[in-house]
A and B are shown apart, each in its own frame.
Chain A
Amino acid sequence: EPEVTQTPSHQVTQMGQEVILRCVPISNHLYFYWYRQILGQKVEFLVSFYNNEISEKSEIFDDQFSVERPDGSNFTLKIRSTKLEDSAMYFCASNDAGKAYEQYFGPGTRLTVT
């Protein structure tokens, strides 16, 4: 069964450093998402992406965040200058056209900012 993959599974970085989280959505999917889950809290929507542009973003997704689909397979989330409060699990998700109700989630990347 096709699945969404994310790398790395765990990333440790120092405050102020840039970090790129990578996701490979399911190959025929056209819609992509990032969600964040701070430890012990709920999962929060960050951004949705379609047709090489952001379709919606939350208040959390400020200027330090950016997303990109650099090639036909990867979908990345960049955090320009990490803060301690960026420590969280980041989930990538994707869905096929017309099936936004059927999002497939990746296993997550745990980001630890020290």
Chain B
Amino acid sequence: AQKVTQAQTEISVVEKEDVTLDCVYETRDTTYYLFWYKQPPSGELVFLIRRNSFDEQNEISGRYSWNFQKSTSSFNFTITASQVVDSAVYFCALSEADAGGTSYGKLTFGQGTILTVHP
């Protein structure tokens, strides 16, 4: 069975600080996808990034970066120079896939990390 753990329930930082949100996953499949979503106070789920299990390259997008380490089953998310607008709940999620890389569709989410950025 698949499982996603986000051990940090809440993180509070001051603007311009860097912050890393941790995500650890469990799966029996060798092929899977990992995701990060942002949920602002308005409630919608905003897609941030998707990685497949074959691609361990780290990714940077502006102030956001992701560190995928299969050896430790982790997919951590770092926000550099945080801003008040980054305040939200952040969810890590996992989708298992078959050997051909076709996702089964069901997303399993972690508990989420509440990030508060103070001015």
B interface residues, how many (CB within 8 angstroms) = 22
Q: Spell out B's residues near A (CB within 8 Å).
A: 33, 43-45, 47, 50, 52, 91, 93, 95, 97, 102-112
A99 to B112, CA, bound (A): 25
Q: Is the CB of A95 within 8 A of B43?
A: no
Type the 1/0 row for A3-39, where 1 means its CB is closer than 8 Å to any CB of B.
0000000000000000000000000000101010000
Q: Is the CB of B110 within 8 A of A103?
A: no
Q: Is the CB of A45 within 8 A of B106?
A: yes
A interface residues, how many (CB within 8 angstroms) = 24
A9 to B110, CA, bound (A): 24
Q: Can you list 10 pairs linking A and B with CB atoms under 8 Å apart?
A: A43-B91, A43-B109, A44-B109, A45-B108, A55-B105, A56-B105, A56-B106, A101-B103, A108-B43, A108-B45
A95 to B43, CA, bound (A): 21
Q: Spell out A's residues near B (CB within 8 Å).
A: 31, 33, 35, 41-45, 48, 55-56, 89, 91, 95, 98-103, 105, 107-108, 110
Most chain B CB atoms below 10 A, which of A89, A91, A99, A100: A100
8 Å CB contact of B107 from A45, A98, A107: A45
